[in-house]
A and B are shown apart, each in its own frame.
Chain A
Amino acid sequence: MAFLNVFKRSARKRTTLAEGHVVPDTARCVQCGICTYNCPIEIDVRAYVWRSEAINRSECLTCGECVARCPRGVLRFERTDLFKAGAS
């Protein structure tokens, strides 16, 4: 059963990657850089926030490190709905 759980986790991770991305609320941000500092693959998350853009880099692991570390709640996951039934 534990073996099957590994597959479940992996499938969930892929779903998150395909269906969600990190989006900012720029008004809350003070550009402290904790998000960029903690990104394991060195995406300059802070620069996206300055431009009010979602972190749309394909390399983003959606690991949640930036979301969890931000002391001001600037970042959150949002569904992209790209693969939602009926989406073209």
Chain B
Amino acid sequence: MRHVIIGSGVAGIAAIESIRSVERGAEIIMLGDDPHGFYSRPGLAYYLTGELSDQALYPKTREDYKKLGFTYRKARVTKILPDETSLQLDDNSLLTYDRLLLATGAFATPLAVSGATLQGVVKLDHLSDARNILKLAKRGRTAVVVGGGITALELAEGLLARGMDVHYLLRGNRYWSNVLDEQESRIIEARLQVEGITLHFHSELQEIIGRSGRVNSIRLKDGKMLKCDLLAYAIGIQPRVELAREASLHVDRGILVNEFMQTDDPNIYAAGDVAQVFDPISGRSILDSLWGAAREQGCAAGTNMAGRSTPYVKSIPFNVTRLAGLTTTIIGAVGHGRDEDLVGIARGDSETWRELPNAVIAQSGFDVNRVRILVGEKKLIGAVVMGDQTLSIPLQRIITQQVDISPMRDRLLAHDAKLSDVIVDFWTKLKS
């Protein structure tokens, strides 16, 4: 049996581990066109701020790969030929497969403004992008960041840490408006300003103006000009679905898979950022761009590819991240609508987070420590925990395990309820 995996991210590695745990003798080939292979893409944020070296981003050693016993080929797949169960590679050779996994990830949605191809216009997709940003930050003085979600802040804070004057443009009147509530947005914005980032609300990029092929300034829609040496953007991501679409696989926003991570071709599977996975709670197929979910999906796909039929139940999406230096946990459905700064979802994001929940909101906290929960009839539907993370793990468990909260529901919704006391008390009793 020959398993071929396209993509060298966490979904692909997780798939190899689980194939190997089931089928010791199977042939496994990984195809990737990222020159850096498998590394922690979320870790690029900490590489930008200088908290990590680029060498520290690689989780696996040569020995680890040897133990897994697979062949890595640096190659780009140009076509899937499902009827012949084979792939056409960029050197025009053909590679046959018995089972194929598409773990091709997603790419940054390109900027559609004039000047977007100038030198100094950057994104944060790969390690090579991060290295390029650091190189440009060394010789530049002023940077402009456009976009939303986690990556836009990672770019702004990374560039600030590298000594640049950073201007962050927001189209609307607040940050990440379809996931955070107004108070949460304001907490983040205030911290960004204290750090030294200049925020520009109601500001939309019209044009990037260059000199000698390099970024020199930008013009906003209202006509204002801003001189800068670098323009960083993070306006969303797009799953890499081209191969699947050309092979006539069922594609919506991502590649649609069933509960076995299988596409409509039984020999072809998909996992990670590229897969659009059925969500039993909403009854719809959902896109996530979460590292943990990608690993889970890769693992499930691998098990099924190896012949051990195991349905994958999509878990409630959650992420822990740092926004303006503030640890923030986001679980389940917490927001709604669309954010003018983003096209679709961003990295570290989930479509589920902005599904308007049928729930009552309870919140408490002040200053930087804040908790907001969405209380359903019998379950908690979502939560945002900012700053103090004491409630992060209890809420993660209560929400993802869909614990019946009836014993504490009234206390949660009481006027001036101290949410942390109520939740900790409930959690302590639940554990004992």
Chain A interfacial positions (CB closer than 8 Å to B): 25, 27-34, 36-37, 46-47, 50, 69, 71-74
Contacts and interface: CB of A to CB of B under 8 A. Distances in A.
A33 B57 contact: yes
A42 to B, nearest CB: 11
Contacts of A69: 51
Contacts of A32: 40, 42-43, 46, 52, 57
Interface in B285-323: 291-292, 318, 320-322
Given A47-B59, A71-B327, A30 B322 contact: no
B392 A33 contact: no
B10 interface: yes
A33 B10 CA distance: 14
Nearest to A74: B320
B56 interface: yes
Nearest to B43: A32
B375 to A, nearest CB: 23
A68 to B, nearest CB: 12
B327 A72 contact: yes
A14 to B, nearest CB: 28
B389 interface: yes
Given A33-B52, A33-B58, A47-B59, 19 more contacts: A28-B292, A30-B40, A30-B43, A31-B40, A31-B291, A33-B40, A33-B43, A33-B56, A34-B46, A36-B56, A37-B52, A69-B51, A71-B322, A72-B321, A72-B327, A73-B320, A73-B327, A73-B329, A74-B320
Interface in B48-87: 51-53, 56-59
B43 A73 contact: no
B320 A33 contact: no
Interface in B26-45: 40, 42-43
A46 B59 contact: yes
Given A72-B321, A72-B327, A30 B52 contact: no
B368 interface: no
A74 B58 CA distance: 18
Contacts of A28: 292, 320
B1 interface: no
Contacts of A46: 59
12 contacts: A25-B393, A30-B40, A31-B40, A31-B43, A32-B42, A32-B57, A33-B52, A34-B51, A34-B52, A37-B52, A69-B51, A73-B327
Interface string B388-415: 0100110010000000000000000000
Contact of B56 (A27, A37, A47, A73): A37
Given A37-B52, A73-B389, A50 B327 contact: no
Contacts of A33: 40, 43, 52, 56-59
Interface residues of B, number: 24
Contacts of B396: 27
Contacts of B392: 73
Nearest to B320: A72
B194 to A, nearest CB: 19
Residue among B40, B59, B392 with the most chain A CB within 10 A? B59
Residue among A28, A31, A47 with the most chain B CB within 10 A? A31
A55 B322 CA distance: 24
A46 B46 CA distance: 15
A36 B60 CA distance: 12
A27 B321 CA distance: 13
- A-B pairs, top 4 by smallest CB distance, nearest first, are A32-B43, A30-B42, A72-B320, A31-B59
Contacts of B322: 71-72
Contacts of B46: 32, 34, 71
Contacts of A25: 393
Nearest to A73: B389
B320 A31 contact: no
Nearest to B42: A30
A31 B10 contact: yes
A30 B154 CA distance: 15
A32 B53 CA distance: 10
A31 B46 CA distance: 12
A68 B46 CA distance: 15
Nearest to A26: B292
A74 B396 CA distance: 13
Contacts of B56: 33-34, 36-37
Contacts of A74: 320
Contacts of B10: 31
A5 B134 CA distance: 47
A37 B58 CA distance: 11
A44 to B, nearest CB: 8
